[in-house]
Amino acid sequence: MSLLLATSCNITPHNEKDKLPKIPIQVTININPSFDENSIIKISDMDSTKLLSVLIKNNWRIDPKEDTFYYYSRSLNIEQSNSIDHAITNIFSTKIPYKEPEVILDGISLGIIQTKGKDSSFIFTHSPDSIKRKEEFTIAANVISAVKAITSDSIIVNYLDDMMSYFRDNKPQRNTPLIKRREPKYHMKYHF
């Protein structure tokens, strides 16, 4: 005697899957260096396209009266959209072993929030070290590379290179074209 048991849990036929509403996804990346401009990078689903927006805020220690140092926004094409989706999926599937917290007064923090409909995931790291906190450093490097791959704006690329140097060397590089925007903005002269 044989018994066949079949159950179904709201299985949608293939031809009806295309009719289901698309769940909007938003990724927010916060980069907060101790002594430079903080930034908010958003990748959002907008109808049938993705939108990248980057807000680099003023260095509030020097110029507290304004908020925006630089703003950039653009739609992403299919290739760029797929590229950033793949990178973010890989970042959130990375296993990060627990490490005892360290007291770090300066440095740089990175927060990544992914929201899919009503579900959200969050990764936060502060001053990931390429030796002691290799997994966190790799996440920081991957997210910066992924954003650089979908923009050609020189200010954004220079800012991200600066932040990667901050992660890698624990200090920003100070010889970038970004300095040309910083000096008149903050009425300061940078010496190397």
Residue 104 has pLDDT above 70, yes or no: no
Report yes or no on 7 lying in a domain. Answer: no
What average pLDDT does this structure show over 102-120? Answer: 82
Distance of CA 154 to the CA centre of its chain: 17
Q: What is the full DSSP assignment across the chain?
A: --------SSPPPHHHHTTSPPPPEEEEEEEEESSS--EEEEEEEETTEEEEEEEEEP-TTT--S--EEEEEEEEE-HHHHHHHHHHHHHHHT-----------SSSEEEEEEEEETTEEEEEEEES--TTTTHHHHHHHHHHHHHHHHT---HHHHHHHHHHHHHHHHSS--S-STHHHHHHHHHT-----
Local confidence band at 1 (pLDDT 50, 70, 90 cut-offs): very low
Report yes or no on 11 lying in a domain. Answer: no
Q: Which residue has the higher pLDDT, 10 or 87?
A: 87
Residue 188 has pLDDT above 60, yes or no: yes
Report yes or no on 6 lying in a domain. Answer: no
pLDDT of residue 170: 67
Residue 124 has pLDDT above 70, yes or no: yes
Report yes or no on 53 lying in a domain. Answer: yes
Q: Which range of residues forms the domain containing residue 173? A: 22-96+105-186
Report yes or no on 8 lying in a domain. Answer: no
Give per-residue pLDDT as tens, 168-177. Answer: 876 666 666 6
Residue 28 has pLDDT above 50, yes or no: yes
> What is the domain count for the chain?
1
Q: Which residue has the higher pLDDT, 114 or 24?
A: 114
pLDDT of residue 103: 64
Give per-residue pLDDT as tens, 57-77. Answer: 887 666 666 678 889 999 999
Report yes or no on 71 lying in a domain. Answer: yes
Report yes or no on 126 lying in a domain. Answer: yes
Report yes or no on 43 lying in a domain. Answer: yes
Residue 130 has pLDDT above 50, yes or no: yes
Determine the Cα–Cα distance for residues 57 and 70; give it in Å rounded to an integer.
Answer: 7
User: What is the CATH classification number for the domain harbouring 133?
Assistant: 3.30.1560
